[in-house]
Amino acid sequence: MLTSPMAFLGWVGRGQWRTLVLGVGFGIIWMVAQALIPATISQAIDQGIIAGDSGALWRWSGALIGLAALTALAGAARHQMAVTNWLRAAFRSVQLIGWHGADTGEALPRDTPTGDVVAAVASDSMRLGGLYDVSARFAGAIVSYVVVAVILLRASQPLGLVVLIGVPVLVGLLSFIVRPLQRRQAQQREESGRLIGLGADTVAGLRVLRGIGGEATFLHRYAAQSQQVRAVGFRVAGMQAALDSAQVLLPGTFVVIVTWLGARFAIDGRITPGQLVAFYGYSAFLVMPLRTATEFVDRFTRAYIGARKIIRVLSVEPDHVDDPGLDRADAAEPSADALLRDERSGVVVEPGQFLAIVSGRPEESAALADRLGRFGTDVVGVTLGGIPLTELPLATVRRRILVSETDPRLFTGTLRDELDPWGQHSDVAILDALTVASGEDVLESLPDGLDSEVEERGRSFSGGQRQRLALTRALLADAPILVLVEPTSAVDAHTETRIAARLAEFRSGRTTVVMSASPLVLDRADRVVLLDDDRVVAEGTHHELMHRGDAASAAYRAVVVRGADEEVRI
């Protein structure tokens, strides 16, 4: 489905073919019923009024009322199906992007600008839905056009040919406007995506910008990009105005031509007065199918551009995918007491142990955490129970190993849903985990406790509060192997002491790995490992490493003491 925009549009359509068929059916009935109204009026005039037959007049009047009722009912059903098709297509696209974003993880923001992802959800998916909204009316327009052409050809071949040939010619003329409009709309979509991305990046880093006085610089950048979007929008508006004008001018000209020819034929006696009225009615009616056809072209253009942008987002590959040849049923399952080992560094994580890993370069220990959790692109050499992580189903790895990153992400919703997304824990369990993370003050500051709403990105919380809430969420996941990256870097020493003590007790008997250089955390660990140049150079308890007299212990003391001196707490 990602081979081309047309393939993607076809895939979306096949996924809702039942409602599309219903919409097309009601659309055809709705428009054909309207197309038959001029013919019914023609027969009422010729057979009833001119012929003086009141019975025929009543019959054709009844038929006219029936067509009007059928038009109303079919129109209501068509509109319901049109809205259904629009919403389903749009929200299926949104869901697909959301699922793909969850599957790709860090690969998506790394390869695709944030603005493009936001625009794909907020704009492109809606444009996609618009195509399926107009599809029912477009099908009705085609069928009613054929019906009208047959009726007119039977009444007068010259006029029928004018209608039969004239409508496609008018639609073809509009393509000279639609093509440049498509190019300008694509350019507008690109510029809007850049603007959205710039705005998202600015908001995300607003605190940092204020701290370094960079607000004015980013304001100027945003204003300049906004002006670029405005300029492109003006160019799009010009072409859109030309298309809207053509949709009025060309059908209007067509109506004048058909009406003039029909009047000449009526004067010459080649058609009856009733047929003249019918020709005029058809000339007015055909404006609707013609405008529907041009609207379909416009909607298709927008949907094609939107599908191309959505495909760009969906084409981003995750860093890791399961081997297609791996049989999930026969895949080896590591035992509960399996060793987690990183061959590159020599780190061995023993089951049930509280292990602390120290490095003079925080990015080194963070990279190790990513390898242990099978994140990123460099995961070769990590085994669980002797089985390489790359040979295990990704779902198994995620179920067994949880990595809580140093930059916690909070989402909009209640605090209860934030901490327990799957609703698996009682309030007592949530409060217990919150106590371990020393987050009681966070809860006390909220008016509705666990039912309080969390703002986007948790911006109403301080960095330390966000960090403690993220730790609570990680603890509630109850993973067999929990890897924490600098879980206390944003809290004060007293809070850190409480968290370290409670964490060791709470995770007793389960495997916990903490990347930290804080002596308050290291003192609670069962074993401490020192990394240097991505290799284990010393290990033991914190007390042993602090008091041994070898060079490795000296290096350990230098890292730990420096970390204590340079630590910034809020």
**Secondary structure of 42-94 as H, E, C letters:** HHHHHHHHHCCCHHHHHHHHHHHHHHHHHHHHHHHHHHHHHHHHHHHHHHHHH
Q: Give me 408's structure tokens.
A: 């916690």
Q: Give me 154's structure tokens.
A: 């039977």
pLDDT of residue 409: 74
Going from the N-terminus, what domains does the chain have, and what CATH number goes with each?
A: 5-314 (1.20.1560.10), 340-566 (3.40.50.300)
Look at strands 527-532 and 354-359 and give their pairing. Answer: parallel
Residue that has been written with the tokens 């609703």 in this structure: 423
Give the angle subtended at the CA of 206 by the CAs of 411 and 94, to the nearest 5°.
Answer: 40
Residue that has been written with the tokens 């038959």 in this structure: 36
**387 sits in which H/E element:** strand 387-388
Q: Give me 128's structure tokens.
A: 């996609």
The predicted-structure confidence for 418-447, as pLDDT tens digits, reads as follows: 888 888 999 999 999 999 999 888 888 888
Residue type, 147: V
Question: What is 399-462 written as a DSSP string?
Answer: HHEEEE-SS----SEEHHHHH-TT--S-HHHHHHHHHHTT-HHHHHTSTTGGGSEEPGGGTTS-
In a structure prediction context, what are the per-residue pLDDT tens digits for the chain, which is 570 residues long? 678 889 999 999 998 999 999 999 999 999 999 989 988 988 888 888 888 888 888 999 999 999 999 999 999 999 999 999 999 999 999 988 888 887 787 777 777 777 678 778 888 888 888 899 999 899 998 898 888 888 878 877 887 787 777 777 776 776 677 667 767 777 776 777 677 766 666 655 555 555 566 567 777 777 887 888 888 888 888 777 877 787 777 777 777 887 788 788 888 888 888 887 887 787 778 778 877 887 888 788 889 888 988 998 888 887 766 665 555 545 567 877 788 999 999 999 999 999 999 998 888 998 999 899 888 767 788 999 889 888 888 888 888 999 987 666 777 888 888 888 888 999 999 999 999 999 888 888 888 888 888 877 777 788 888 889 999 999 999 999 999 999 988 888 899 999 999 999 999 999 999 999 999 999 999 999 999 999 999 999 999 999 888 888 889 988 888 655 444 333
CA dihedral 533, 537, 538, 542 (to 10 degrees): -10
Q: Helix, strand or coil for residue 147?
A: helix
Q: What is the CA radius of gyration of the chain?
A: 35
Residue type, 224: A
